[in-house]
Structure 1
Amino acid sequence: MDSKTVEALVSVGDRYVGRAPAFVADRPWWSEIEATTAYLDRLLGVPTVVLRLVHADEAERGHGGRVVYHVQAAADPRPGVLDPTPLPEWPDIVTPHPLRATWAEVDGPHRLATWAQSIIGPAEPTQVKTWNLSCLLRFSTPDGGAWAKATSRFLGVDADVIQHVHQYDATLAPGVLGVDLANRWSLLQHAPGIDCWEPDPETLRDVVSRWVAVQASLAADADQLGTPRLLPQDVAGEITAVLDGDVRRQLPAADLDRARRLVDALPGLLAALEAAGLPITLVHGDFHPGNWRSDGTTRRIVDWADSYLGHPATDVDRLCNYLPETKQELARATWTAAWKQHLPGSSPERALPPIAVLTHLLGAITYQRFLDNVEPDERIYHEHDPATEIRAATGAAARLGLLDPAR
């Protein structure tokens, strides 16, 4: 599915002015809205921003199908392009919700743009992405461009995390132009080049080894990081709480039983992980090659909002899930050698089998945190993710012989 059908409920401020005719946007992901606002700007004759998702038909989770957005126009649109029929549910749509993201509020993206412009000057913003985790604006500037990003209260702040990374590798992440911790806003320099979805061996070796060097250096001061915690010793308690929640109604009884038996097996898994001798440190959290940028000379890691304090093996496990088998071994070998270089006496390879299970349990916990902290209309992005991750965890555990696959 390579498109989505968009319906826009348009307001000026919080005053409803009408519904735009449905149209097809060529970017299927619900969170990617650059094509949507570009179309609406032309149609309405005024600048627009998408505030939030009001409804989505779950044709495929996260993309495609019919989506309904609340769109804010900068001024009254040209006459005759909107259906002004009153919308009975409009008061419910604009009524504040305690879990609403700040950028999903009326004038939210404008506040982010105004802050960024106070730093870089009067560059025009283009809204690229908005959903329950972040809002992303792009600015064209004479020196290569900039990105303003707002993140949710339960995520990290990109610029804050990057400033810690820069202490040990000044070019491993984009430059920081500004940060507002209270509002969770970041302003970053554009990272030139292309996304490294198909990294060559040199890129793999370079990014993985440099990232391990930073993680090893940061470990001593990890407690100073203002990022969420996903610590191995907390997994049993947190995953038990997940299993006692909505997941209990989503998983068949057999799957739920396997998951609870996996919780019973966690002490052994954690002991195996501990035997690797690796420290708790900063974890990127979404360490796949699509979040690497290369201009042929410098390679940078982007999108740091999912960072957390945890076990570093989760990053290499995440990476290998995005690589063809022919490159997975190179990634693991590079990662293992780098940790042995920076932490002589460690046995990083011993972390790889248990982390293949624990990464999925950490994923279930993370997605449940998302669901617990976003407003009801936007739960659809992640509604079934905890259950999916728990099934993946029990599957990985069965492959390691920790669970009887027949039960």
Structure 2
Amino acid sequence: MRTVIALVTASGRHVHTVPEFTVDSPWWNDVEPVTAHLDRVLGVPTHVLRLVTATGTGMRGGTVTYEVEAAGSSTVDTIAAVDAVAAAPGDALRLPWARPGGPSALVEWAEGHVVCVGPAVQVKTWNLSCLFRLRTKAGTVWAKEVPSFLAPEGPVLELVRSVDPSLAPTVMASEGRRILLEDAPGTDCWSPSPAIVQDIVPRWVGMQNALAGPARLRRRGVEVPSFGLPDTLLHGDFHPGNWRSSGVVLDWGEAHWGHPALDAAKLVDFVDPSVAALVEEVWCRSWLAHHPDSDPSAALRHARPAMHLLAARVYQEFLDNIEESERIYHRGDPEEQLALAQSFTL
């Protein structure tokens, strides 16, 4: 649960502050229940632009204040507004969807590619993405926008699908940092079963082996001794919360090029210890099938501290490229990851 305060703006001006209310979901970037409440209270469609302040920790709980944009030409007349004052000045690092009209622009772009049968629903917004769910006669589709410091997902997904279409969602449209995706069936796999591990990990290794070779994306500068394995496409955030039970892998914005053991180390570090041994066994066996003279186990051993060094670099990049109020999502993360890296002995 979290407590929400909404600073409502229209045409770039603060027009109303909605009294505190609570929503069941504790996660700050989960804004669907926030806009659902505000739409009912204000009687007009709303979009969350950005987080202004938060008192919780770990991206959840506490009291969270959002800047919220009310849509519609008669908004100012519809809302029982206080005297209109200018909204907070724009931060130079403020992302496109955190600015007035930004979420609507993403929806308008998506609606240029599909025919919707209901209003678009803003599901998530924070410094790493803005995500909308749209209903069409053919089913659910997803519109997403990511910042310039993340990989554009369209080309990455097409690269993956060129060797294994079952591992990535279908791209309906892609333009710059925006992407429109078909729905990926199934449920999220935060606690993956052995069957899910044995399904996804070998196919993942097969895809990486097929794409191995010269870098087609940027490298992040954290190296692992090869131990006979090739550099390839990395997901960058390969934990099972980004897996669907249908075998599709989501959220490729942190994709880059490097040693495949870095992805495996992320997965081993994330899953329950009872599953970690199975992940390592399946991952090593899968790579040995492609490279019999390699030593995947040694590579993974070296990759586990290196993965935390990589995470520290990634989190620092986030902090360097997002506005002050949203740094609370990642503040302290680089230091935590560096400490974890130092805790390993090879």
- Give the structure-2-normalised TM-score: 0.94
**Aligned residue in 2 for 1:69:** 66
What's 1:325 paired with? 273
Partner of 2:143: 148
* Equivalent pair of 2:32/2:123 in contact (CA under 8 Å): yes
Please state which structure has a larger fraction of its residues in helix: 1
Mapping of 1:232-243 within 5 angstroms? 232-233=222-223
Deviation of 1:325 after TM superposition, in Å, equals 2.4
Which one-letter code corresponds to 1:145 in the other structure?
T
Partner of 2:192: 199
Structure 2 letter corresponding to 1:277? G
More displaced, 187-196 or 39-48?
187-196
Mapped to 1, the partners of 2:13 and 2:305 lie a distance apart of 49
2-structure distance, mates of 1:119, 1:275: 43
Partner SS, residue 142 of structure 2:
strand
Structure 1 length normalisation: TM-score? Answer: 0.81
Q: How does 1:119-198 map to 2 (within 5 A)?
A: 119-123=113-117, 124-181=119-176, 184-198=177-191
1:8-407 residue pairs with structure 2 within 5 A? 8-57=6-55, 59-75=56-72, 76-77=74-75, 82=80, 84-85=82-83, 90-91=86-87, 93=88, 95-123=89-117, 124-181=119-176, 184-221=177-214, 223-225=215-217, 228-233=218-223, 273-294=224-245, 298-397=246-345, 400=346
Q: CA–CA distance in 1 between the matches of 2:139 and 2:81?
A: 40
Provide structure 2 residue ranges, at least 5 long, that are not aligned to the other structure. Answer: none
Instruction: Report if the CA contact (8 A) 1:43-1:81 is conserved.
Output: no
Amino acid at match of 1:40: L
Cα RMSD, aligned residues only: 1.8
Which is worse superposed, 193-202 or 147-156?
Answer: 193-202
Alpha carbons 1:19, 1:82 under 8 Å: kept: no
Amino acid in structure 2 at the alignment position of 1:130:
T
Distance, in Å, in 1 between the alignment partners of 2:81 and 2:23 is 20
Give me the whole-angstrom Cα distance separating, in 2, the residues matched to 1:389 and 1:24.
32
**Partners in 2 of 1:172 and 1:104 — Cα distance?**
31
Offset of 1:220 from its aligned partner? 2.0
Percent identity, aligned pairs only, is 42
SS at match of 2:66: strand
Secondary structure (helix, strand or coil) at the match of 1:396 reads: coil
Distance 1:324 1:70 in 2: 37
The code of the aligned residue for 1:30 comes to W
Alpha-carbon offset, residue 44 of structure 1: 0.3
Matched AA of 1:288: H
| Separation in 1, partners of 2:170, 2:84 | 47
Counterpart amino acid of 2:219? R
